[in-house]
Each structure stands twice: as C-alpha cells, then as structure tokens.
C-alpha cells in the first residue's frame, strides 16, 4: 500500500505498539491481559510494517526469524516448569523470587511470568509466520 | 526429583526436541541430530516409566501440585506405559530411517519438528488422566499429522489430507460434545472421578450409554473402526514412507487406546449392549478391511487396508472384556504397531530397489535381494498370524479368550480373516518377490543406505523376539489387562495421591 499518511503513522505507532504489548503482558500477571493478547499486539507492530511497505521489510526488521521465535517461546514456556523440580515439587509448580532493586525497590519475579513471556513470543512468532507466508504466496 | 517429572518426560522430551528443531530451522544437520537423539531419549524415558509402573504400580502426577478437580493429572498404568514405550520404539526406528529416506524438500518444511509434535500428542493422549486433556492431545496429534500428511504438496497428498482432516475434525467435534455432556452430567472431567460418578446412583444408566455411543463414534473414527474407516485407505499411501510408517504404527492406536480406556474405566455398566456392539463392529471391521486389501494392487494400499482389518482384532478383545481378552488386545496392539511400521519401511526399500509400489511393475526382488525378501517375510507372516512370530501368540490369546467366552462367531470370523490376510501377503510375495522382473522395467535406483536397512531389520528382530519371548510379553499384557479390568485400582491411585 502506498500511502504517506499510513507510512508516517506506522513509524510512530510501531514502538508504541511494542511498548503497549509488553505492558499488556506484564499487566496480565494480576489483571486482564497476558501473553496471548500481548503477543498479538506485538505481532501487529510488525504487521503494520508489512502492510505499509512489504513483508520483506518487516522480516528484516524482526530481530529473530519467526521459526526461531516459535522455538524460543516454547523453550521459555517449557523451561518455566523446571525450577519447581529443584525444590522437589511437581513439574510446573509456580516459584517466586524476591529481588531487591536499587533505591529500596522490591520486585517479585515468578516462573509464571516466564511462562507467559513464552506464550507472548510463541504467539508473536506464529502470527507473523502465518502472515508472512500468506503475504508472500504466489498466486 | 525424578518422580516429580517422570510422567511428564514422554511429553517434554518430544516438546524440547521440536523446540531445538525450530531453533535450528536453517540447519538440516542439526534438525536430524536433534530428531534422532530426541526419539531415543523418548524410548529411554518410556522404558524408565514402564520399569517404575511395573515395580510400584499405577503412577500419578498432579501437574503444578493442583488437586485433580482443578488441575491437570497424568496417570500411567501398565497399558499407558507400554504404549509410551511403543511410541519410543517406533519414533527411534523411523527417525533413523527418515534421515536416510526423506529428500531435503520434505525435511526443509519441518518434518523433524512436526514428527516430534505428533509424538508429543500421542504420548500425551496415552498419559492423560482427564478426558478434556485427551481431547487436547487428540487435536495436537491431528494438526501435526495433517501437516505431515500434506508435506510435499502433491495432488494425491492434498486430497488424502483433506479427507483425513475433515472426517477427524467431525469426530473431534462429537468428542467435544460428549465431553461437555459428561461434564454437565457428572460435574467433572477427571477420568477417575468420572468412573465413580457414572457408577453412582445420581447418573441414569441410559445417559451414560448414550454418552458412550457419542464417544464410540468419535474414537471409532480415529481408530478406523467400521463404518468410519474410509479416511485411512484414502490417505495412508500418499505421504513419504517414514510418515506412512509412523501413522500406521501410532495414529489408529491412539483411537484404540481411547476406546479401551473409556470402555474399561467409564462405561462398564451396560456391557450387554455396549460391548456386544463393539464385538459386532470388530467383526465387521476385520472383514471389510481384509476384503478391501484383497482388491488392491499397490503395496501401501494393501497395507493400509490391513491396518483397518487389524483394528478389528484389538477391539475384539475389548468387546469380550475378560482379562485374557484384554491381554490379547494389548499384546496385539504392540505387535501390530511394530509389524505394520516394519512392513511400510520394507515396502519403502522395495520401492527404492524395484522402482515402484505397484505390484505389476515389481518383480524379481527375491533373486536380486534375498535379504530384503527375508525382511519382508518375517513381519508379513507375523501379520497373518503364523508361528513362531509374535502375531501368532497375540491371535492365539484372543481366540482362546473368545472360545472361553463362548463367542464362537467372532472366533470364526477372526480365523477366516487371518487366512485371507495370509492370502494377500502371499500376493505381495508372489508378485514383488517371486515372479521375474517385468519386461522392459529398468531396476530402481540401486544402492540403499544402511540407515534404511538397520531400522527395518531391528523391527523384524523385535517381531521374532516377541514370538520367542512370548511368555514374557504375555505376562506383561496380562498384568496390564488385570489393571484395566479393575477400575478401582485406577481410581484409588488418582485419589490416593491428591496433594
């Protein structure tokens, strides 16, 4: 699509969409949101690029190939079940870790977040893989 | 630490294997290495699971420590563990074979990750203790096998894959409907809790039987039971040989496994109706399958129709519902997976050496390649049920069980079908191996890599061992069958381990 308006808007929207997608992922920890929605939002950032220019340009800007994203996300999700084993608890039992940050800030990290981040990456990889493949289909 | 993950390992190993294949998408060498290593690890995990179940009884894992009502449960009794070992054996043999057989065009589009996703689905279905999760694993298997079937994208493949996926999706929707109705009737989807609820006074017996029929149609389609078997002969001969071998060994077994699980654990109240119906369907499946096979002249089509016919034997044991009969079913399932995969692998080698799968274009293989002829003879005779191979003992147990139950007609049918099976194996033998090479047919590509020979030979050795050590296999099957006919042990194991 050759539209100056869309191209300009896309340039502004892309970082915004990526930022919002991460926000939605983290928000999903306790409130509506999560990896699935976040992943779709993240994929839409690159989809916008593919629509305004072409899929090749979107592919180049993606730091990892969609297949690798799929694999990495699955790896994160599956690996999030393993720390429980070190505690002698059943596979996938949630683990929490308190971490102290500078300026007396406290943050709680959990394996659930790693699982959800894995979902984020899988959804993003799968959505982009489907879209790129369809976009490059020779008719 | 191991006991917290042992039951999940047969699901996790294929998952991690698929992940490494995806991460190494650009390197076929890495994908092959991961594929082969993963399937041998799966075999090891299966054997370890079988050892622990055989030693300590039924094993239960409550994933993430949630009680069965809310969480996901994995349960392994001897039957499940044997099936997981079987998946490992076939996975290992076929992964080695596929490295030597597939062309890069199939591998580049994801044969290795997909075959492991399928193995993950199959193992998940064998291990789950929850009927909704069974549905999920069925879908995982279905999607992966659909893509495997279409891989390569020839016209015949797409046609076969469409038939396969359409009929199986219809079956899945019936399954989902039945699961929803079960939940509304019993308030749970956990198999152990369902087993108790369906026996209790709150559930009308008629309702349970209606639900069992819905599940019979759903699982019967996936198991290629009469009259919903036609997707199988329409699709099994189209994909590359390793994919056919994997499907023939494992796909229908998941359906048969589900049938055996629900018709021993859940629906055992109105057996006069349900199990006699199963027996009739078993007989019809045997006969139609074998008659279909007789009319075919292409090796893979013949084998596909025999797969249908053999499913009848597995369901025959379930229909009789005695420990001996179920032992026969379990023994037969293990035997059939190995033998049928083996026949597909041997057929693939024959195609490479003789240049075709069509019987009328083949010939002279016996004089040119006597080793291949022997390799075909072992599984073929075992499939037909001739001593001293495993197939003979599997059928012997089933027939003995049928005679003990005084169900003479099914015994008669199964014996007749065995003879016709032998006839159709003889046809392949006479046409492809015995008769001289047809005039004007150039020989095939010649040399075949040892990666094709070794897995086929090892599976043939296993068939011989199953015959020689049949007592050991029978004892194990009988113990598995005794667990199946005593649902309370399953229920106790799940409820006794609540976190």
Profile chain B (499 residues) by mean pLDDT over runs of 10 residues: 82 94 87 92 95 91 85 92 95 91 78 93 95 94 91 83 90 94 89 87 81 93 88 86 91 94 89 90 93 90 92 93 94 93 91 82 82 90 87 92 91 92 89 79 65 89 88 92 91 85
CB atoms within 10 A of CB A95: 18
Task: Find, in chain B, the residue whose alpha carbon is nearest to that of A95.
Answer: B64
Nearest to A68 among B12, B15, B25 (CB): B25
Q: Regarding beta strands B73-76 and B59-62, do their DSSP bridges make them parallel or antiparallel, or are they unpaired?
A: antiparallel
CB atoms within 10 A of CB B155: 8
Q: What is the pLDDT of residue B219?
A: 94
CB proximity B27 to A under 8 Å: no
For residue B349, which of B307, B379, B319 has the smallest C-alpha distance?
B379
CB proximity B11 to A under 8 Å: no
**Four-point Cα dihedral B59, B62, B63, B69, nearest 10:** 140
List, as ranges, residues 45-64 from B with C-beta within 8 Å of A: 61-64
Q: Do residues B459 and B345 touch, judged by C-beta distance below 8 A?
A: yes
Average pLDDT over residues A8-14: 88
CB proximity B408 to A under 8 Å: no
Alpha-carbon distance of B209 to B226, in angstroms, equals 19
Contacts of B179 (CB under 8 A, 6+ apart): B131, B132, B135, B189
Q: Which of A71, A83, A84 best probes binding to B when mutated, by most B CB atoms within 10 angstroms?
A: A71
Both tokens of B9, joined, read 């390992």
Query: ∠ CA(B359), CA(B364), CA(B368), 5° rounding?
Result: 135
Q: Do B15 and A74 touch (CB under 8 A)?
A: yes
Q: Is the pLDDT of residue A37 over 80?
A: yes
Q: What is the pLDDT of residue B357?
A: 84
- Residue B278 CA neighbour count, 13 Å, CB half: 32
How far B76 CA lies from chain A's nearest CA (Å)? 16
Q: Do A84 and B22 touch (CB under 8 A)?
A: no
Domain ranges of chain B: 270-437+447-486
pLDDT in tens, A68-84: 999 999 999 999 988 88
Q: Do B1 and A86 touch (CB under 8 A)?
A: yes
3-class secondary-structure state, position B128:
strand
- Convert chain A into a string of H (helix), E (strand) and C (coil): CCCHHHHHHHHHHHHHHHHHHHHHHHHCCCCCCCHHHHHHHHHHHHHHHHHHCCHHHHHHHCCCCHHHHHHHHHHHHHHCCCHHHHCCCCCCCCCEEEEEECCCEEEEEEHHHHHHHHHHHHHHHHHHHHHHHHHCCCC
How far B31 CA lies from chain A's nearest CA (Å)? 12
CB proximity B21 to A under 8 Å: yes
CB proximity B280 to A under 8 Å: no
Nearest to A90 among B15, B19, B64 (CB): B64
**Exposed e or buried b per residue across B423-460, where buried means at least 16 C-beta atoms within 10 angstroms of its C-beta:** ebbebbbebbbebebeeeeeebeeebeeebbebbbebb
Q: Do residues B149 and B164 touch, judged by C-beta distance below 8 A?
A: yes
Q: What is the pLDDT of residue B91?
A: 94
Average pLDDT over residues A42-66: 87
More confident residue, A6 or B200: A6
How far A124 CA lies from chain B's nearest CA (Å)? 15
Q: Is the pLDDT of residue A97 over 80?
A: yes
Both tokens of B335, joined, read 């035997």
Under 8 Å CB pairs connecting chains A and B tally to 59
Q: What is the pLDDT of residue B331?
A: 94
Q: What is the pLDDT of residue A91?
A: 85
Question: Using the 8-state DSSP alphabet, how is residue B360 labeled?
Answer: G
Alpha-carbon distance of B194 to B494, in angstroms, equals 12
pLDDT bucket at A31, cuts 50 / 70 / 90: confident
Alpha-carbon distance of B382 to B390, in angstroms, equals 6
């Amino acid at each position: 699509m050759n539209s100056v308006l869309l191209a300009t808007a896309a340039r502004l929207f892309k970082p915004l969409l990526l930022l919002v997608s991460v926000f939605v992922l983290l928000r999903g920890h306790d409130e509506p949101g999560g990896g699935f929605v976040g992943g779709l939002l993240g994929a839409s950032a690159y989809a916008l690029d593919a629509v305004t220019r072409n899929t090749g340009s979107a592919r180049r800007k993606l730091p990892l190939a969609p297949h690798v994203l799929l694999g990495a996300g699955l790896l994160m999700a599956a690996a999030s079940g393993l720390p429980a084993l070190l505690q002698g608890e059943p596979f996938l039992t949630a683990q929490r870790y308190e971490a102290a940050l500078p300026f007396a800030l406290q943050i709680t990290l959990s394996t659930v977040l790693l699982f959800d981040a894995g979902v984020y990456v899988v959804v993003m990889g799968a959505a982009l893989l489907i879209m790129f493949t369809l976009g490059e289909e020779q008719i | 630490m191991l006991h917290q993950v042992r039951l999940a390992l047969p699901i996790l190993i294929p998952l991690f294997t698929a992940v490494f294949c995806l991460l190494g998408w650009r390197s076929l060498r890495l994908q092959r290495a991961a594929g082969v290593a993963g399937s041998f690890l799966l075999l090891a995990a299966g054997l370890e699971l079988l050892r622990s179940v055989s030693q300590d009884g039924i094993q239960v894992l409550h994933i993430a420590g949630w009680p069965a009502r809310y969480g996901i449960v994995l349960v392994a009794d001897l039957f499940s563990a044997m099936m997981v070992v079987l998946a490992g054996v076939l996975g290992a043999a076929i992964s080695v074979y596929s490295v030597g057989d597939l062309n890069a065009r199939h591998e580049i589009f994801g044969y290795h990750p997909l075959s492991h996703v399928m193995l993950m689905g199959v193992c998940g279905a064998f291990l789950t203790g929850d009927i909704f999760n069974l549905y999920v694993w069925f879908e995982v298997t279905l999607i992966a096998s659909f893509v495997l079937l279409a891989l390569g994208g020839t016209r015949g493949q797409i046609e076969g894959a469409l038939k396969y996926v359409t009929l199986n999706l219809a079956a899945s929707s019936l399954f989902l409907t039945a699961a929803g109705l079960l939940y509304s009737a019993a308030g749970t989807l956990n198999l152990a809790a369902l087993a108790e609820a369906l026996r209790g006074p709150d559930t009308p017996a008629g309702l349970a039987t209606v639900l069992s029929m819905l599940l019979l149609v759903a699982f019967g389609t996936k198991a290629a039971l009469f009259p919903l078997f036609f997707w199988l002969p329409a699709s099994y001969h189209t994909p590359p040989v390793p994919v056919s071998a994997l499907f023939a060994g494992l796909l229908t077994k998941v359906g048969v496994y589900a049938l055996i699980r629900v018709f021993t654990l859940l629906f055992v109240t109105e057996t006069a109706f349900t199990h006699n119906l199963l027996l009739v369907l078993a007989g019809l499946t045997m006969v139609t399958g074998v008659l279909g096979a007789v009319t075919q002249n292409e090796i893979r089509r013949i084998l596909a129709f025999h797969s249908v016919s053999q499913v009848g034997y597995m369901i025959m044991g379930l229909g009789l519902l005695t420990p001996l009969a179920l032992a026969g079913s379990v023994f037969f399932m293990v035997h059939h997976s190995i033998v049928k995969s083996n026949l597909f692998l041997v057929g693939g080698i024959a195609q490479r050496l003789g240049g075709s799968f069509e019987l009328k274009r083949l010939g002279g293989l016996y004089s040119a390649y006597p080793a291949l002829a022997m390799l075909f003879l072992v599984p073929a005779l075992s499939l037909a049920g001739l001593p001293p191979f495993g197939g003979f003992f599997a059928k012997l147990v089933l027939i003995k069980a049928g005679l003990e139950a005084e169900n003479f007609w099914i015994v008669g049918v199964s014996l007749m079908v065995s003879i016709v099976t032998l006839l159709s194996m003889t046809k392949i033998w006479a046409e492809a191996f015995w008769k001289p090479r047809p005039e004007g047919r150039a020989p095939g590509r010649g040399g075949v890599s040892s990666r094709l020979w070794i897995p086929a030979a090892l599976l043939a050795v296993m068939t011989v061992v199953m015959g020689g050590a049949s007592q050991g296999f029978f004892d194990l099957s009988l113990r598995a069958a005794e667990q199946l006919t005593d649902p309370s042990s399953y229920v106790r194991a799940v409820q006794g381990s609540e976190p």
